[in-house]
Amino acid sequence: MARALFDPERGYYTRNIRTVGARGDFSTSATLSPSLGAAIAFWLKAESRAHPSIRHIIEIGAGDGSLMQNVRQAMSWWKRRQFTFHIVETSPVLREQQQKRLGSKVHWHDTIESALAHAQGDAFIYHNELLDAFPATLVQWQNGQWHEVWVPESLHSHQLDVSSFSALRHTAFKDGQRCELHPSIRDWLRNWAPQWKGGAMLSIDYGDEFPQLYHRRSQGTLRAYLLHQRLTGADIYANPGRQDITADINFTDYRAWLRELGITEVSYHPLADFLRPRAAPAQLLDADGAGTAFKCCVHRRQACAS
C-alpha cells in the first residue's frame, strides 16, 4: 500500500492523482462546502484566545488547497495577519495545485518536523482526511490469532503480536474477520510529537472506535477509489499506483497513541457536532462520503509561556 500510494516514480499521490473533487477520483468534505473551513477558523480563533502567544498554523495534507483557502477567507484581514500559515505536503501534484490556489500566502514543507522547526515548536495543527491515506496492514482473525493478509491473497502463518500497540488485542471475532492496523500512523506520531511544544491539534477523518468500527463489516474497511467508484475485494489490487487506497481509522488506537505521547485529549465527537453550530449544509452534517461517519478530536500540548 505504501508503494502504491507514495512510490516516488509510480505512486498514486506522488505522480498519478488527478485532482480532488468532482473531476477527480474522490471528493473530501473540504471540497463539498466552505463550511468546514469556516468551522476550523472558528476553532482556531478560540484556541488563539487561550494561547495568544502562538502565531503559526499548520495544515497537514491539504488536498487541492481549498480547505486552507476557506479557513483564511473565514478569518478577518486583521486575524490573518496575526498568523503565519504552513502546509505540509508530500505530493508534488497536489502541492502544485495548492500553490496555484494560495500563491505566496503560505509556507510549504515536506515534513511536519520542518514546519514545527519554523514555528519553534509552537503551532496550531489541523488535518482533514489525512490519516486514512496512511499505509495499513490488513489482518484476519483465524484459529485464535491474527494473521497478516498478503498479496496475492493469502494468510501469513506467523502469529501477529498486537498486544503492545492496538485495541485489536481485545477481540471476540469469528474466524474470517478482517481488520486494519495502522502502525504507520503510530510511527509518524512518535517521530514528530516530541518537537511539538505548545498548541492544539484538530484531527478529522472517517472511522470509529473499536470494535464498533467493524460491526457488520466482516471484510474490514480497506477499499479503493477510481473516478468516484468504490472498489473492494480483488479490485483493490488492480491498477496499482493509479487509484486511491484507503481504510477507516480506528480512533481507539489513534487516541491511545496520542495519550502515550503525553498529549492531552480535549474532545472527541462526530464531525456533525463540530459543524452544526456553524449552520453547515446538510451534505456535510450527513456526510459519509467514504462509507462511515466522520469523527473529529482535539488534542493539546501545554503552550509555552508568553
Place of cell 473530501: 28
Query: Rounded to the nearest 10 degrees, how much is the dihedral formed by the CA atoms of 186, 119, 56, 261?
Result: 30
> In which element (H, E) is residue 97 found?
helix 92-102
For the segment 16-47, what is each residue's pLDDT rounded down to a tens digit? 887 655 555 655 666 567 889 999 999 999 99
Q: SS3 of 136, please?
A: coil
Backbone angles phi, psi at 183, to 5 degrees: -60, -20
Place of cell 509555552: 304
| Composition of the chain by helix, strand, coil, percent to 5 | 35, 25, 40
For the segment 177-217, what is each residue's pLDDT rounded down to a tens digit? 999 999 999 999 999 999 999 999 999 999 999 999 999 99
In order of their start, the domains of the chain are 2-134+182-301 (3.40.50.12710), 137-180 (no CATH)
* Helix orientation angle between 66-74 and 92-102, rounded to the nearest 10 degrees: 30
**6-20, 32-46, 63-77: least confident range:** 6-20
192 Cβ contact list (under 8 Å, min separation 6) = 111, 112, 113, 116
Please report the sign of the dihedral spanned by the C-alpha atoms of residue 290, residue 30, residue 185, residue 166: negative
